[in-house]
Structure 1
Amino acid sequence: MRNKWLHFFLVTVLIGKNSIAQDITGIWKGGLSINGNALPLVFTITKSGTQLASTFDSPAQNAFGISTGSTELKNDSLVIRIPLINGSYTGKWNGADSIYGTFQQGNFKAPMVLLKSKEGKASKPEIKRPQTPQPPFDYSVEEVTYSNQEGTVQFGATLTLPKNKKDFPAVILISGSGSQDRDGSMFNHKIYWVLADHLTKSGIGVLRVDDRGMGKTSLGPNPTQLTSEDFAKDVEAGLAYLQSRKEINAKKLGLIGHSEGGMIAPLVAARNKNVAFITLLAGPGVAGYEIWNGQMRRNFIKPNLNPEDYNIAADLVNKMNSPFRFSTSADTIKKKMEAVYADWKATNSTIDENKLFLATGINPYKTLVNQFASGLVWLQYFLNYEPFENLSKVKLPVLAINGSYDIQVLANENINGIDKALKKAGNKQYEVKIIPSLNHLFQTAQNPEQSYESIAESFAPIALEKISNWILALYK
């Protein structure tokens, strides 16, 4: 979930100053060789005032307009950081049309030359996002900062509050997997901003916060050791901030968690008495390793296999990913994978891997280890997390909704898991619902496979109305 290269759950930018006279802005094209396959990348660098920003495309992976974490140019040295994939690009600019540098992701490192393009960007036409909020706003908008109790992390956030209303409920939005900005920016969608805009217009205050290392939120110490538990403490820092605001009723504070945020919200609610209600959007209801294995099976196994072949393939994928649960050492995980793969090959010596898998051999699994090298502690925590433990302690009002077209957090099994846990808690104030035709981002999709960026809608109105109406009904 967090730090995935395949899903490109990336975010916007911290910006550096341009201290060189020439203009580095424009479209820069380069490429990598991955396991013998060419992977073209396109960086687009822009400037507002003295601030630089960048996005990149990976056309072969059907990913366009992806924001980076920071873009800095000092003299002739360019550094583009990409926190979500634990990656970066560093290079020397010749002051004109070429940058000689290195692309890095985890332990993977390769030289990459970027050449300035004189042509238009070779990407899909931009799709308009009609729901992206536009000023003027009929509610108050305030840029705020606050720190955690230890003073080790400073958070940047936007607080939107209804005008001419008192005693309204307020919520903190908790982001899904991947380092994201406060707006939930991905593929030119601003999903959390769209949600916050709707909620605030409906009479609900909203605090939306940059994740660690993004926007105006600092990274904090020991970033490779962070887990969802640390992000839960970040949410509690937000709760403490809202409690300090005199215009906000401290007894009407709720949490809205999306994806991994839907795992963090119950974690906080089970122990923090300042939480009055929670809403889970595509939140997990089954163990993390079950969700992970399902995602990996989709990534590795060819579609439309017969049941017998699928089970043989699934057996390998599940076993190859199991070592992530029991170690945070990349070398240890790879050695265990080697043993698992050798055993599977011996048992299935007559099987043609090309028939079963999108990528064969052990190298794709080792590449996965490299991609998560700086996030193995987070991954181990997630894989071993059992949502039932905290959900079964939550007695406050809960709304859990999933989309029927979600292929990342499957609706039926996760909603059923949430329902079972809340019944165990004896919770009398919860509702679980699967909304037809919505994907993981709560967009209306034509089918489960439709890409996020191809959809103009950022957040389905039916889901927006469900969330706001449910919260407001709590306080009628």
Structure 2
Amino acid sequence: MRRTLLSVLLTACLAASPVAFAQDAVPATPAAIAAQALDHLDAGQYAQVEQLFGTQMAAAVPEDKLKSVWESLPGMVGAATGRGEAQTTEQNGATLVTIPLHFEKGEMLAKFAFDGEGKIVGFLIQPAPTAEAVPPVAADAPFTEQDVSVGDGERALPGTLAMPKGDGQAPAKLVPAVVLVHGSGPQDRDETIGPNRPFLDIARGLAAQGIAVLRYEKRTKARPQDFASGEFTIDDETTNDAVLAVEALRHVQGVDPDHIFVLGHSQGGMMAPRIAAVSGHVDGLILLAAPSRSLLDIVIEQNRRLAALNDGKIDDAERAAIAALTDQVRQARDPQTAATTATLLGQPAGYWRSVDAVNPVAEAAQVKLPMLILQGARDIQVVDADWQNWREAFHSDPKVTFKLYESLNHLGITGEGDGSLAEYQQPGHVDASLIQDVAEWIKAH
């Protein structure tokens, strides 16, 4: 089965998807419309589903593309076994409906966004957060974990501090500390993607080696209501809370306030230099799978790559879908488009223009901090072009260290062969050598 435009939306690194439906006999509620759309998909009635599309989305995701994407799911997560109860919320002037999808080998979420006329203007299928509880810290572990807050008042974000032990359960000396900054999309403190929890692995791995680690719920996950107006930037989404997290660590007893680092993954790595610049209290940066180019360009590139992944060709339907996506990028970049207008992936144009204004390489050069730049050679989202940009800019800087891992994917997890979205559904752990490299680098700085 060929991978298509919509296939990229199965990764939790994208926040929403511009797939729309419309229908002749529209049920009364968004939840009912969403359920009916899923019924049509289950029955293989793709033409009927396509009748639900708005004009723009019909061009982006025609009947054959829906069929390709929907029928690719069993190959990743097995046969469907049922659905959960729909949940409806309001966000950014749209009605959101989330329906759990149960499969033999995993859980997925179908997410729909409706406009004021009851039309589906967004459709996303993504791995559901794992239902398994986070395993407790072993009693004999060399660190403890405790709940903390990032920020103050009702807008504070819940987080977890992993703190090395010392004599009497307290650090014997001041320890270095790290703030973990998430990739794009709503993310929990463990950066849960399918059965994998990269930030849990990194936090506990570093804490076991004497480094304090703060991880927290991303604002888009914990407080989506803070974005209801549609007027927000990438700094509202990422930078400002990371700065608060750095400040929180500086006041933790036992933490060395002069040795606090930021480890950013994916979009978090792209924003790490800005976080350091705004904070003024960051001693070094660790960039894991960090884009060095505009995310708007990368989204188009990802979809082209995935469309041609199996046979090296892009068919007419895929070409039309990519053209529609490219037009959404153009619209988002157009200063004449109102800032609150929903564009690419359902996000406001103003948000995307703030993303487009980020130049991670230039901002990293300006902060002049030590950096450890990490990349998996099997990463299909942040690719060699980004890695080479970082290397070209900083190859002669003695403060910058590069590590390329031949077998790692975007999550820092080991695999074999070509990278794929399907492996995000396979349980694994962040590579121990990567965590060891991070720990040694922090201790050396």
SS state of the match for residue 437, structure 1?
coil
Distance change in 2, residues 1:127/1:142 (3 Å): closer
Post-superposition shift, 1:132? 6.2
Whether the 8 Å contact between 2:332 and 2:344 is mirrored in structure 1 is: no
Does structure 1 residue 421 correspond to structure 2 residue 427? Answer: no
> Which digits, 9 at most, give the CA deviation of each residue in 1:312-350, with x for residues without a partner?
8899478434333225849999xxxxxxxxxxxxxxxxx
Give, in whole Å, the separation in 2 of the partners of 1:314 and 1:60: 18
Deviation at 1:370, TM superposition (A): 6.6
Distance in 1, matches of 2:49 and 2:135, equals: 35
Give the match for residue 333 of structure 2.
325
Instruction: Kindly provide the amino acid, as one letter, of the partner of residue 437 in structure 2.
Output: K
Q: Paired residue for 1:163?
A: 165
- 1:267 deviation in Å? 1.1
Partners in 1 of 2:309 and 2:200 — Cα distance? 36
Q: Is the 8 A contact 1:32 1:110 kept in 2?
A: no
Output the CA distance in 1 between the equivalents of 2:409 and 2:373: 15
1:393, distance to aligned residue in structure 2 (A): 0.9
Aligned to 1:252: 259
Tell me how far apart the structure 2 counterparts of residues 307 and 374 of structure 1 sit (CA, whole Å): 26
Q: From 97, 104, 115, give the equivalent of 2:112.
A: 104
Alignment of 1:202-241 (within 5 A): 202-215=209-222, 219-220=225-226, 222=228, 224-230=230-236, 231-241=238-248
Indicate the SS of the match to 2:293: coil
> Is residue 104–residue 110 contact of structure 1 (8 Å, CA) maintained in 2?
no
Q: Is 1:139–2:143 an aligned residue pair?
A: yes
- Opposite residue 153 of structure 1, the aligned amino acid is R
Return 153-162 or 133-142, whichever deviates more: 133-142
Deviations 1:17-69 (A, max 9, x none): xxxxxxxxxxxx87255763769xxxxxxxxxxxxxxxxxx88546769xxxx
**Aligned counterparts, 1:212-361, within 5 A:** 212-215=219-222, 219-220=225-226, 222=228, 224-230=230-236, 231-300=238-307, 303-305=310-312, 316=323, 319-320=326-327, 321-326=329-334, 329=337
Matches within 5 A, 1:17-36: 31=38, 33=40, 36=47
Shift of 1:390: 0.4
- Counterpart contact for 1:172–1:208, Cα < 8 Å: yes
Q: Pick the aligned partner of 1:172 from 166, 169, 179.
A: 179
Between 1 and 2, higher relative CO (CA 8 Å, sep ≥ 6) is seen in: 2
Q: Which runs of 5+ in 2 are unaligned?
A: 1-7, 16-34, 51-69, 79-83, 100-109, 121-126
Are 2:340 and 2:349, in contact at CA under 8 Å, matched by a contact in 1? no
Instruction: State percent identity of aligned pairs.
Output: 23
Supply the distance in 1 between the matched residues of 2:438 and 2:307 (Cα, whole angstroms).
35
The two structures have a TM-score, normalised by structure 1, of 0.64
Amino acid at match of 1:413: A
For the 8 Å contact 1:415–1:433, the answer to whether it is kept is: no
Within the candidate set 83, 88, 92, 2:96 is matched to 88
Provide the secondary structure at the position in 2 that maps to 1:463.
helix
- Residues 463 and 241 of structure 1: is their aligned pair in 2 closer, same or farther, counting only changes over 3 Å? same
What is residue 464 of structure 1 aligned with on the other side?
Answer: 435
For the 8 Å contact 1:83–1:179, the answer to whether it is kept is: no
How far did 1:105 drift?
1.5
How far residue 247 of structure 1 moved from its aligned partner, in angstroms, is 2.0
- What is the 5 A alignment of 1:190-201? 190-201=197-208
The DSSP-based 3-state class of the residue aligned with 2:302 is helix
Query: For the residues of structure 2 that align with 1:308 and 1:213, how far apart are their CA atoms?
Result: 36
Instruction: Quote the Cα distance in structure 2 between the aligned partners of 1:470 and 1:432.
Output: 11
For the residues of structure 2 that align with 1:90 and 1:406, how far apart are their CA atoms? 29
Kept in 1, the 8 Å contact 2:11–2:421? The answer is no
Shift of 1:431: 0.8
Q: Does 1:406 align with 2:414?
A: no
Deviates more, 1:185-194 or 1:128-137: 128-137
Q: Distance in 2 between matches of 1:110 and 1:103?
A: 14
1:152–1:220 Cα contact (<8 Å) kept: no
Q: Who is 1:350 aligned against?
A: none
In structure 1, the residue corresponding to 2:180 is in which secondary structure? strand
Where does 1:446-461 land on structure 2 (aligned, <5 Å)?
446=416, 447-449=418-420, 451-461=422-432
Question: Offset of 1:392 from its aligned partner?
Answer: 1.7
1:390 corresponds in structure 2 to 363
8 Å Cα contact 1:259/1:283 also seen in 2: yes
The alpha-carbon deviation at position 172 of structure 1 amounts to 0.5
Secondary structure of the corresponding residue to residue 372 of structure 1: helix
Q: TM-score, normalised by structure 2?
A: 0.68
Q: For 2:339 and 2:48, how far apart are their aligned partners in 1?
A: 25
Please report the RMSD computed on the Cα atoms of aligned residues, expressed in angstroms.
4.4
Q: For 1:406, what is the secondary structure of its paired residue?
A: coil
Shift of 1:79: 3.2
Please report how far the alpha carbon of residue 408 of structure 1 lies from its aligned counterpart in structure 2 after TM superposition. Answer: 0.6
Between Structure 1 and Structure 2, which shows a larger proportion of strand residues? 1
Give SS of 1:270's match: helix
Residue ranges of structure 1 left out of the alignment (5+ in a row): 12-28, 40-57, 66-70, 92-101, 112-123, 334-368
CA contact (8 A) 1:262 1:284 kept: yes
Listed one character per residue, the Cα deviations across residues 116-174 of structure 1 (whole Å, up to 9, x for unaligned) are: xxxxxxxx9x99999966544431211012426xx672111001100003221101100
- The structure 2 residue matched to 1:7, chosen from 3, 7, 11, is 11
Deviation at 1:90, TM superposition (A): 7.8
Give the whole-Å Cα distance in 2 for the aligned partners of 1:458 and 1:223: 38
Secondary structure at 2:286's aligned position in 1? Answer: strand
Summarize the Cα distance change of 1:160–1:304 in structure 2 as closer, same or farther, 3 Å threshold. same
Q: CA deviation at 1:89?
A: 2.6
